[in-house]
Amino acid sequence: KIVILDFGSQTTQLIARRVRELNTYCEILPYNKFPKGDESVKGVILSGSPFSVYDESAFKTDLSEIRGKYPVLGICYGAQFIAYTNGGKVEPAGSREYGRAHLSSFDKDNVLFKDVKENTQVWMSHGDTITVIPSNFKKIASTDKVAIAAYQIENEKVWGVQFHPEVFHSEDGTQMLKNFVVDVCGCKQDWSAASFIETTVAELKEQLGDDKVVLGLSGGVDSSVAAVLLNRAIGKNLTCIFVDHGMLRKNEFKNVLHDYECLGLNVIGVDASAKFFAELAGVTEPEEKRKIIGKGFIEVFDEEAHKIKDVKWLAQGTIYPDCIESLSITGTVIKSHHNVGGLPEKMHLKLCEPLRLLFKDEVRRVGRGLGMPEHLITRHPFPGPGLAVRILGDITPEKVAILQNADDIFIQGLRDWKVKDADGSETSLYHQVWQAGVILLSVQSVGVMGDERTYERAIALRAVTSTDAMTADWAHLPYEFLGKVSNDIINKVKGVNRVTYDISSKPPATIEWE
Catalytic residue status for 164:
yes
95 is in an annotated binding site: no
Instruction: Quote the Cα angle for 314-320-322, to 5°.
Output: 70
Indicate whether 295 belongs to the interface with ligand XMP (CB under 6 A).
no
Measured between alpha carbons, how far is residue 231 from residues 266, 371, 487 in Å?
8, 13, 44
Name the residue with the smallest CB distance to ligand XMP: 384
| Catalytic residue (one of 97, 126, 166, 240) | 166
222 is in an annotated binding site: yes
**Cα dihedral 138→141→147→151 (10° resolution):** -30
Measured between alpha carbons, how far is residue 173 from residues 103, 360, 465, 512 in Å?
12, 22, 23, 33
The distance of Cα 513 from the centroid of its chain, to the nearest Å, equals 19
Indicate whether 384 belongs to the interface with ligand XMP (CB under 6 A).
yes
Indicate whether 335 belongs to the interface with ligand XMP (CB under 6 A).
yes
Indicate whether 511 belongs to the interface with ligand XMP (CB under 6 A).
yes
Indicate whether 379 belongs to the interface with ligand XMP (CB under 6 A).
no
Indicate whether 385 belongs to the interface with ligand XMP (CB under 6 A).
yes
Q: Which helix (H) or strand (E) holds 460?
A: strand 452-465
Question: What part of residues 224-263 is at the interface with ligand XMP (CB under 6 A)?
Answer: none
Taking residues 443 to 482 in sequence order and writing x for each that binds ligand XMP by CB under 6 A, - otherwise, the string is --------------------------x-------------
41 is in an annotated binding site: no
Catalytic residue status for 452:
no
Strand, helix or coil for residue 470: coil
Nearer CB in complex with ligand XMP: 18/390: 390
Q: Check if the beta carbon of residue 349 is closer than 8 Å to that of residue 309.
A: no
* CB of 389 vs ligand XMP, minimal distance in Å: 6
The distance of Cα 410 from the centroid of its chain, to the nearest Å, equals 24
* CB of 437 vs ligand XMP, minimal distance in Å: 8
| Catalytic residue (one of 164, 185, 362, 456) | 164
Applying CB under 6 A, which part among 85-93, 242-250, 337-345, 494-502 lies near ligand XMP? Answer: 337-345
Number of residues that bind ligand XMP (CB under 6 A): 14
Candidates 338, 365, 399, 462; binder of ligand XMP (CB under 6 A) is: 338
Residue by residue, DSSP assigns 354-393 as TTTT--HHHHHHHHHHTT--HHHHTPPP--TTGGGGGB-S
Rounded to 10 deg, the angle between the 221-234 and 193-208 helix axes is: 60
221 is in an annotated binding site: yes
Burial 93-108 (b: 16+ CB within 10 A, else e): beeebeeebebeebee
Applying CB under 6 A, which part among 82-90, 103-111, 247-255, 504-512 lies near ligand XMP? Answer: 504-512
224 is in an annotated binding site: yes
Taking residues 120 to 139 in sequence order and writing x for each that binds ligand XMP by CB under 6 A, - otherwise, the string is --------------------
Indicate whether 381 belongs to the interface with ligand XMP (CB under 6 A).
yes
Nearer CB in complex with ligand XMP: 160/384: 384
Rounded to a whole number, what is the largest CA-CA distance in the chain?
A: 86
Residue by residue, DSSP assigns 303-334 as HHHHTSTTEEEEE----HHHHS----SS---S
| Catalytic residue (one of 76, 185, 187, 352) | 76
Taking residues 339 to 378 in sequence order and writing x for each that binds ligand XMP by CB under 6 A, - otherwise, the string is x---------------------------------------
* CB of 512 vs ligand XMP, minimal distance in Å: 3
Candidates 152, 435, 486, 497; binder of ligand XMP (CB under 6 A) is: 435
* CB of 290 vs ligand XMP, minimal distance in Å: 6
* CB of 425 vs ligand XMP, minimal distance in Å: 25
**Cα dihedral 78→80→83→84 (10° resolution):** -120
Indicate whether 322 belongs to the interface with ligand XMP (CB under 6 A).
no
Nearer CB in complex with ligand XMP: 120/435: 435
456, β-bridge pairs: 445
Measured between alpha carbons, how far is residue 417 from residues 312, 432, 482 in Å?
47, 11, 11
Residue by residue, DSSP assigns 1-56 as -EEEEE-S-TTHHHHHHHHHHTT--EEEEETT---TT-TT--EEEE---SS-TTST
State the Cα–Cα distance between residues 135 and 153, nearest whole angstrom. Answer: 9
Catalytic residue status for 166:
yes
Indicate whether 111 belongs to the interface with ligand XMP (CB under 6 A).
no
Measured between alpha carbons, how far is residue 433 from residues 39, 190, 202, 362, 476 in Å?
41, 30, 36, 18, 9
Q: Check if the beta carbon of residue 141 is closer than 8 Å to that of residue 133.
A: no
Annotated binding site: 218-224
Residues that bind ligand XMP (CB under 6 A): 335, 337-339, 381, 383-385, 435, 469, 506, 510-512
- Catalytic positions are 76, 164, 166
